[in-house]
Structure 1
């Protein structure tokens, strides 16, 4: 049976890496559905991820295309793994505090309790190290999210430090491990 992944992309300069991640997941035989925040669409187009995933990209929690479906509920029911990559500070804060104000956060809040959840943060070092972000990450870990730690690198803003999206190979290895554990 094909494993189903929901890739949630939030607003970070690293959002462009979602294209390669989607492509690599498809090549590994996974079914991939993509959710994007509005901010993510400023960095990469939904069409790119639609073509690579071979599925419609979900953008608006208030847009229901098929009457019998409630997309944010059904997406959660139909996924084996929910991964936010990249996870911006804003999205992490919303997830940690139970907001459901966009397609990504509403779907996350509606996930069945046993759904596997990964989070790959990407942001400026100062934002990542901020005690509020660290508190939110700790809370999400306690709530069942596995955190794929960002790496230290030269960031888009010119700063050097921890906050760059983890290498795609590490993200892919983590996904494989999580989905193949106990199967």
Structure 2
């Protein structure tokens, strides 16, 4: 059944997944976003593919997952076509490497190139070990990204995959979705 012409089109979210163990939570986030009626397009880094498979995210989002910057399915390039008409650009988990790439404009993979092409609000959910999170360089990158207008959620304190307690857990999907919903309520999209 087609939606009526007056029905608003679903909000478009690009969900970037990077190479950290917290990528398993991204499957739940993707599922919950799709169930809430969002149009979810997943982009995965090479590192993310080491933790979770494309088939899982394709099934949960209902769309093919994009992993490469050069793809014949996107004649203008996936960094151009996937960034069009986005309502939010979400990266969960956002690793220390990803935060650094975004903060310094490095564009050496599809996700970082998409970040530079993107004009929609950006939500980042960092996840890493406690020592990594507390490094001065990572905190400088976080401040740069906040200054650039990115919305950071977390990381949280708790049990980490490195078998210690500390700050570095990716926020839970429900908290990330609350932040996304708050962005949509606060004003028009930036697409």
The structure 1 segments of at least 4 consecutive aligned residues displaced by more than 4 Å after TM superposition are none
How far 1:63 moved relative to its partner?
A: 2.3
The aligned counterpart of 1:179 is 184
Q: CA deviation at 1:172?
A: 1.0
Q: Unmatched 5+ residue regions in structure 2?
A: 1-8
Corresponding residue for residue 94 of structure 1: 101
Deviations 1:57-107 (A, max 9, x none): 11011223243x321112112311001100001111111111111111010
Encode CA deviations 1:127-147: one digit per residue, 9 max, x unaligned. 001000000011011111011
Equivalent of 1:48 in 40, 51, 56: 56
Distance 2:26 2:74 in 1: 26
Once residues 108 and 82 of structure 1 are traced to their aligned partners in structure 2, the CA distance between those partners, rounded to angstroms, is: 8
TM-score (norm 1): 0.95
Normalising by structure 2, we get a TM-score of 0.91
Q: Secondary structure at the match of 2:123?
A: strand
Q: Bigger CA drift: 132-141 or 72-81?
A: 72-81
Question: Are 1:131 and 2:136 matched, yes or no?
Answer: yes
For the pair shown, which has the larger CA radius of gyration, 1 or 2? 2
What's the offset of the Cα at 1:158? Answer: 0.9
Partner of 1:37: 45
- Structure 1: 5+ residue stretches without partners: none
What is aligned with 2:118?
A: 111
Residue in 2 that maps onto 1:3: 11
The equivalent residue for 1:73 is: 80
2:160 is the counterpart of 1:155: yes
Question: 3-state DSSP class of the match of 1:76?
Answer: coil
Give the root-mean-square deviation of aligned CA atoms.
1.0
Equivalents in 2 of 1:72, 1:7: separation in Å? 13
Counting matched residue pairs gives 180
C-alpha distance in 2, partners of 1:57/1:49? 7
